[in-house]
Amino acid sequence: MLNDWDHEFVERAFLEAKKSYDQGGLPIGSVLARGPELIASGHNQRVQKGDPIAHGEMDCLRNAGRQKSYRDLTLYTSLSPCMMCSGTIVQFKIQRLIINDTKTFGGNEEFLKQRGVELIDAAHQPSISQMEKFISEKPELWNEDIME
Q: Supply the DSSP symbol for 10.
A: H
Secondary structure class of 42 (helix, strand, coil): strand
Is position 148 annotated as part of the catalytic site? no
- Cα→Cα distances 46→30, 31, 101, 126, Å: 14, 17, 20, 22
> How far apart, in whole angstroms, are the C-alpha atoms of residue 30 and residue 9?
9
> E strands along the chain, which residues?
29-34, 37-43, 74-77, 96-99, 118-121
Q: Which of 11, 16, 57, 140 is flagged as catalytic?
A: 57
Of the candidates 130, 132, 140, 96, the residue with the CA atom closest to the CA atom of residue 21: 130
Residue 119 CA to residue 96 CA, distance in Å, equals 6
Catalytic residues: 57
